[in-house]
Chains A and B, each alone.
Chain A
Amino acid sequence: MEKVLQVDVTTVRDWVGRIATDLEANKDLLTQLDSAIGDADHGTNMVRGFTAVTAALHDATPGTPGELLVLVGSTLISKVGGASGPLYGTAFRRAGKALGAAPDISAEALGTALAAALEGVQGLGAAAEGDKTMVDALAPAVRAYQQAQAAGASIADAADAAARAAAVGAEATIPLQALKGRASYLGARSVGHQDPGATSTSIVLAALAASLVGSD
């Protein structure tokens, strides 16, 4: 099949721009979800982080997708604080490092990068699937991506499968009892609320799918 669009640093820049816009649009939703089972700052923190990312990307011209994602991750670690700063920061840094210095991203490389992001998050936060955290969106997304890619799907279709799996995973946190993070102190009282971290992960992956539409 002929390549429709190359997935390069411009595509990744577009993805990060979409994340910033979509988080801003969902800021109140995220904060609302976090006020139910956390400390009501997830929307504010994510928006603060991606505002800093936007500023950093305005000033810098990373030459490769990998370099750009490492910059995104480092900026999040430096600016966000809380648990989401190190977790999202590590996810983007690991994904960026996994992509190496390649000028564009193959479907396979993106799968490897997503898996590296998941591994980074789990290594740092020690959360497993079912703990009611961002892992509940990220882990099924990585699986869906890799299955689609192994079955010969385009990078766009595989990313779309990942985004859908993340959304399903985020919604599936509603009946779970939180076992990690601040929500865990609620015990059974955390049941019945969707996890804010899983929700923001779902937003990030939906933005990825949107920026890859039409790419092979």
Chain B
Amino acid sequence: MKKLINKPEDVTTEALRGVAAAHSSLVVDVDNKIISRAGGARKGKVGLVSGGGSGHEPLHGGFVGYGMLDAACPGEVFTSPVPDQMLAATKLVDGGAGVLHIVKNYTGDVLNFQMAAELAADDDIEVTPVVVNDDVAVQDSLYTAGRRGTGATVFVEKIAGALAEQDKELKKVADVAREVNERSRSFGVALTACTTPGSGQPGFELPDDEIELGVGIHGEPGRERGKHRTAAKIVDFSLDAIHSDMPLSGDLAVLVNGMGGTPLIELYVVFNEVNRVVKGLGARITRSLVGNYITALDMTGVSITVVRLTPDLTKLWDAPVETPALRWGR
């Protein structure tokens, strides 16, 4: 597999150097792998920290900036970051009002953030974790590690970030983060597997004429493997999975997200199909995002995230944001 890299073991470090060089609004601690806002912590503002394995860019580093995250901790590719890193980031962004940890529901991320929160408590920093688990592909959460955190993370980070910018207290910021998670559902489909820089081999085998329905952002399997089909049928399947879990009604925000290797034109084809299905259900899309926001390296495929908005959530979504990957209103 051809990759634009120098040495596999240097990928995460060199990418961080690139982030630092490209975005003067960010401070990048390459040794400790922490991306934070250039301004540092603001007194009285709740700090927002997220993190997870690398390979999902722009998540999370691309969402550091005004109106969203204060810091991000990237791990190795598809491997969660470590507690020391999260603790350092937590200390860095603490403005005395406590720190929100936004954690995608993967065993490694949850365990490492849990240990970081314990360490932060020893330093008298109040930390509240919010676990994002929006992936409806994982049906029987009793018999698994639970639903995975995927596209809803972008909405949680944006909306909680907007509230934190108003200097609201930690409890309120955590509450809105949980509310967004509870009102969000996602479903992903892979057309091809992804290849990590370290292995050079596809993470799973998918025959040319098959797709993985319900794929995770590391190429984890979903509900079933099936024959490839039209975009309309893929969207029907995906939204049926979402709608039967959380009936879609009212105003919706929809993210049609590329997995890293999907042409934008195909994402718009998918968005058109999502709009068709949503209209058919009597709901309407009032906010939209189309592009690569939470990727799985070079995987081709798409994930669809739907958030049932409220007027308050819509306002927070519309609030100004200025990050490398999301910016408006400022």
Question: Residues of A with Cβ closer than 8 Å to B?
Answer: 35, 39-41, 44-45, 77-87, 124-125, 177, 179-182, 184-187, 189
**Which chain B residues lie closer than 8 Å to A79 at the CB level?**
82
* Cα–Cα, bound, A185→B107 (Å): 12
Contact of A185 among B81, B198, B203, B221 (CB under 8 A): B221
Contact present for B221 and A81 (CB under 8 Å)? no
Contact present for A39 and B82 (CB under 8 Å)? no
- Shortest C-beta distance, B218 to chain A (Å), equals 5
Assess A182 versus B82: contact at CB under 8 Å? Given A40-B199, A86-B111. no
Contact of B143 among A44, A86, A179 (CB under 8 A): A179
**Which chain A residues lie closer than 8 Å to B108 at the CB level?**
81-86
Report whether over half of chain B's contact residues are helix, strand or loop; otherwise say mixed.
loop
Contact present for B80 and A181 (CB under 8 Å)? no
* Cα–Cα, bound, A10→B111 (Å): 32
Contact of A182 among B145, B198, B222 (CB under 8 A): B145
Q: Give the interface residue-count category, chain B.
A: 20 to 34
Contact of A81 among B82, B138, B143 (CB under 8 A): B82
Contact present for B203 and A78 (CB under 8 Å)? no
Question: Residues of B with Cβ closer than 8 Å to A?
Answer: 53, 75-76, 78-84, 106-108, 111-112, 114-115, 138, 140, 143-145, 148, 196, 198-199, 203, 216, 218-222
Assess A81 versus B80: contact at CB under 8 Å? Given A39-B203, A86-B115, A125-B111. yes
Report whether over half of chain A's contact residues are helix, strand or loop; otherwise say mixed.
helix
From B83, B106, B107, B140, residue with most partner A Cβ within 10 Å: B107
Contact present for A124 and B79 (CB under 8 Å)? no
**13 more A-B contacts (CB under 8 A) besides A87-B111, A125-B111, A186-B221?**
A35-B199, A39-B219, A40-B199, A41-B79, A77-B83, A78-B82, A79-B82, A81-B79, A83-B80, A83-B108, A124-B114, A125-B107, A185-B148
Our count of residue pairs bridging A and B at CB distance below 8 angstroms stands at 87
**Which chain B residues lie closer than 8 Å to A177 at the CB level?**
143
* Cα–Cα, bound, A161→B72 (Å): 45
Shortest Cβ-Cβ A-B pairs, 5 listed: A184-B144, A86-B111, A82-B108, A83-B108, A83-B107
Contact present for A81 and B112 (CB under 8 Å)? yes
Contact present for B216 and A82 (CB under 8 Å)? no
Contact present for A187 and B143 (CB under 8 Å)? yes
* Cα–Cα, bound, A195→B187 (Å): 27
* Cα–Cα, bound, A80→B80 (Å): 9
- Shortest C-beta distance, B250 to chain A (Å), equals 31
